[in-house]
Amino acid sequence: MRFAKARHFCCGMAMPAFGAAAPAVAQGLQWQVARVLTGRQTMMAFDIARGRTVLFGGRDGSGTLFGDTWEFDGLTWDRRSAAGGPSPRWVHAMAYDAQRRRVVLFGGASNVVQYDDTWTWDGDRWTLHSPTNRPPASSGHSMCYDSARGRIVMHQLANSVPGTPQTWEWDGSNWQQTTIGGPPRMEGQSMAYDPLRQRAVVYSPTVLGQPGQTWEYDGASWSLRSNVGSPTSLSGVALAFDPGLGRIVMFGGSGFFGPIGGTLEYDGNSWQAPAGSGPAPRYGASLVHDTRLSGLVMFGGVADGATWVRQGAVWTQAVPAPFETVGGYVMAADEARADVVLRSELLGVDATWLWNGSQWRQQVGTSPSAISGAAMTWDGNRQAVLWFGGRAGPGLAPQNATWIWNGAWTQLAPAASPPARHGHAMAFDRQRQRVVLFGGSTNSLLGPSSVLSDTWEWDGFTWVQRTPGIRPSARWQHGMAYDPILQRTVLCGGTALGLVIQPDTWEWDGQAWVLRSATSVPGFLTQPPMTFDPALQGVVIAGNASGTFAPVGVWQWSGGAWQQLPTSTANAPAELAGSDWCVDPGRGRLLTYGAGATLLFGALVPPAVQVVGAPCPNPQLPLLTSNESYLGNARFALELIGSPGGLSALAWSLGSQSTPIGPCTFQLAAPWVAEVVVADGFGISRGTPWPQAPVSTWRGLPIFAQAVTLDPTGPLGLGFSALRQFVLGD
C-alpha cells in the first residue's frame, strides 16, 4: 500500500539546527552490544493493524537470553524502545489478538525458572496483566488466535499437573481453562489457526522415529487426525497458516538425526511436500503470515540468523544473517563515507563488511586476496582506507600488494613497495599526512621465517623506506596508533622471532623512534586492538592478561605509561587478541567485534523516551510511537496509531511549552517543524525517517514530538497525542 507523500511545514522559522546538544548523560566507561538482531530460538507474531512482525526475546546457541523487542516491516528489522517489558526469556508463546489489536505473550523460561505472566504489546509498550485466572507457569507451550471466536487459544503441559495437557483461552482480560486433554506431548509442539476450517491445528512430536501427531481444536474439544501423512516425529517446527494457499505450512524441526530442512503443507486432510528448495535446516524458528507481503516470514532457530520470506511456494532470503566470524579480522574507519570497513581473516573466507552505525552489510566484487595478517588504516591523502600485505595462496605466502577502499577495492601500483609481509602494523600520521608501517614477518607454510624491523611511509602515491638510527627490535603482531595530541605514532608489544614477547612501547615523530616504556600493558602484547579515541583523548588498547579468562580491560597511553581505565565488566568480551577496533567515524564511539557480537565502548549515553500526559480528547488514541533514537539509526521515525480523520500532522521541537486548546494541550515550544501524513486503511500514519545525520555532537540532544489529528469530537475539530520526549544516545 502506498502512502501519501508527506508535506513539511514549520511554525515561525526554518528547521532548527540540531548542533547545540544538551550535555550528554554518560554512564561511565562501559561495553554495549550493538543493535544487531542475531540468530536465536525465538517467538514472533504479526501485528495486522500495523503491518509489522513483532519478535520478542529468545536464546542463542551459547545460552544467552534476550529480552529485546524487534519489528520487521518487510524490509528490515528495527529494535523498539520497550523499557519495563517482559524479562529475558525463551520458549514463550506469542499470538496477535486482532479484536483488541494487541500482541499477547505468555510464559516462557529463563535458564533457571518458568514464568506464568501475561503481557500485551500495543506497538509502543508492553503491559503486564493481572488476570483473575492464570494458567500455570510453563514453557514450550503453543498459542494461536481463533478469529472466529475472538479468543487466544493456548495449549500447555503444566509442570504443576505432571503429564496433564491443558487448554486455556484469553479474552483480553482473563484466562479461562476450557478442556483437559488433547495433544499428549508438549515439548517442541507448534500451533497455527486455520480460519477456513475454523480449527486450531497442533503438530506434536511423539516417540523419535515414529510419525508425529496432528491434532485439531474446534473451540470445544480436541480430535486426533489419523492417516494424514505426518512427518517423522519432529520438535521445534515452524508453523503458520498461508491464506494465499489455504494451507498450514510447516518448516524444519529437529528429529532423530538433528535439524532438518524442507517444507510441508497441510490442507486439513494430509501433509504434503511441495516442489522446490528452501532455507537450510533448522529448529526453533518462528513463522508468521505477513499480510502486506502476502507471504510467510521466518526468522531464527538453530543454524541461521537470516530472515526468510515465502511467497507462494518460493522461499527468498529477505535479510541476510548478521556478520559473524570465528577467525581474526582487521578494521578501519572510512571517514569519507562514515563507515567502518572490516575484512575477515578466516581461512577460506573473502569478505568485506561495512558498518553504518546500525547494521553490517557485506560487499561483493574485486578485493584483496590476502586472508590473514594484513593491515588497514585510514589514508587522509587518498580519502580512502589503505590495505597492505598479508598472506594468501596455498602456501600462505606473504604479499606486498597495496589496495585502497573508497567505496570499492582498487589495487594500486606504486613505484616502490615494502617487501612482502604479514603481521605488520600501520597508522595514519595526521600531522604529516603519512601512513607509517613497521615490522612484520615473512614466514609462510613453505618457506623460511624472518621478522622485520623496517619503517616505511606512504604519501598517497608511493612507499618510502625510512632508516632511523634507533628503532624498535624486529617484531610482528604488534599494535600501532597515531596520537594527534602527542603528534606521535605509538607502537606497543608484539612478538620477536621464536615467539619472544616484546613488552615495550615506542613513539615515532617522523624522524626518530624513541623508547618510552620498557614494560607494556599486562597481557596485551600480541595482536592488541589499538587506536586513538577522540572522546578519551588518547591511544587506547584492549585485552586481558595472558592465560586468564577475565573480562577484557582497557588501558590508555599517557605519553609515558599505560594506565588502566575504570570500566564496567558488563558485556565485556573475554578475549580480543587477533581482533581489531577503531572509532566509528559517524557515531564517535569505539567499535569492535568479539564473542560473537558487535560491541561499542565508551562513556555511553543511553537513548531514552518519556511519554508526558495522555491523548486528548480520547485518552487512548491517537498513540504516538517510534523506533529507537540512537545515533546511526537512519530509520528513526514517528508512527501514529489511531488517526480517526485520516489526516494528521507529526510535529517536532527542541523544547516543550503548554498551550491550552480547550480541554487539550499543545505541548511543543516554537519553533517547531511538522509534516502532514495520511493514514492507511488501518488508521496508521508513518512519518518520514528523521534526517538524523550521524553527528556525535548530537548525543544527549532532547527532542520533543506530538501529533495533531482531525477529530470532530475535539476542540476546533482536532485531537492531540501525548507528548513524546526523546534523547539521542548510543
Percent of the chain with pLDDT over 90: 65
pLDDT in the model for residue 175? 98
- Better-scored residue on pLDDT, 404 or 542: 404
Give the cell for residue 55. Answer: 519478535
Average pLDDT value for residue range 362-379: 89
Tens digit of each residue's pLDDT (9 = 90 or more) over 414-449: 999 999 999 999 999 999 999 999 999 998 876 557
Band of residue 158 on the pLDDT scale cut at 50, 70, 90: low
Write out the E strands in 73-198: 77-80, 93-97, 102-106, 118-121, 126-129, 142-146, 151-157, 165-170, 175-180, 190-194
Pair 103, 45: CB distance under 8 Å: yes
pLDDT at residue 517 above 70? yes
Tens digit of each residue's pLDDT (9 = 90 or more) over 647-661: 999 999 999 999 999
By C-alpha distance, which of 513, 406, 408, 388 is closest to 463?
388
pLDDT in the model for residue 693? 53
pLDDT in the model for residue 3? 29
pLDDT in the model for residue 333? 97
- Better-scored residue on pLDDT, 331 or 321: 331
Pair 287, 248: CB distance under 8 Å: no
pLDDT in the model for residue 317? 95
Average pLDDT value for residue range 357-361: 86
Min mean pLDDT across 54-63, 200-209, 377-386, 717-726 is at: 200-209
For 562-590, what is the HEC assignment?
EEECCCCCCCCCCCCCCCCEEECCCCCCE
Cα angle: 203, vertex 140, 224; to 5 degrees = 25
pLDDT at residue 5 above 50? no
Cα angle: 339, vertex 341, 345; to 5 degrees = 165
Pair 49, 621: CB distance under 8 Å: no
pLDDT at residue 363 above 50? yes
Cα distances from 332 to residues 51, 106, 271, in angstroms, run 38, 44, 52
Given the C-alpha cell 526554518, which residue does it identify?
14
Cα(27)–Cα(15) distance, integer angstroms? 31
pLDDT in the model for residue 164? 76
- HSE-up (13 A, CA, CB side) for residue 616: 17
pLDDT in the model for residue 499? 82
Cα(496)–Cα(478) distance, integer angstroms? 10
Cα(584)–Cα(66) distance, integer angstroms? 25
Sheet hosting strand 238-242, strand order edge to edge: 238-242, 247-251, 263-266, 271-272
Min mean pLDDT across 190-204, 485-499, 514-528 is at: 514-528
Which DSSP string corresponds to 649-673? Answer: EEEEESSEEEEEETTEEEEEPSSEE
Cα(512)–Cα(633) distance, integer angstroms? 44
Given the C-alpha cell 614466514, which residue does it identify?
443
Whether a cis peptide bond, with omega within 30° of 0, leads into 320 is no
pLDDT in the model for residue 26? 46
Band of residue 509 on the pLDDT scale cut at 50, 70, 90: very high
pLDDT in the model for residue 6? 39
pLDDT at residue 7 above 50? no
pLDDT in the model for residue 545? 58
Band of residue 20 on the pLDDT scale cut at 50, 70, 90: very low
Whether a cis peptide bond, with omega within 30° of 0, leads into 689 is no
Band of residue 327 on the pLDDT scale cut at 50, 70, 90: low
pLDDT at residue 677 above 80? yes
pLDDT in the model for residue 519? 81
Task: Quickly count helices (H) and strands (E) in the chain.
Answer: 0, 66
pLDDT at residue 314 above 50? yes
- How much is the mean pLDDT over the chain? 88
Percent of the chain with pLDDT over 70: 90
Pair 368, 390: CB distance under 8 Å: yes
Cα(357)–Cα(340) distance, integer angstroms? 9
pLDDT in the model for residue 390? 92
Pair 638, 629: CB distance under 8 Å: no
Q: How far apart are the first and last CA of the chain?
A: 33
Average pLDDT value for residue range 37-65: 93
pLDDT in the model for residue 657? 96
Give the cell for residue 654. Answer: 527542541
Pair 631, 584: CB distance under 8 Å: no
Min mean pLDDT across 2-6, 139-143, 713-717 is at: 2-6
Average pLDDT value for residue range 265-284: 92
pLDDT at residue 15 above 70? no
pLDDT in the model for residue 294? 96
pLDDT at residue 321 above 90? no
Cα distances from 442 to residues 396, 416, 436, 449, 452, in angstroms, run 10, 18, 19, 6, 8
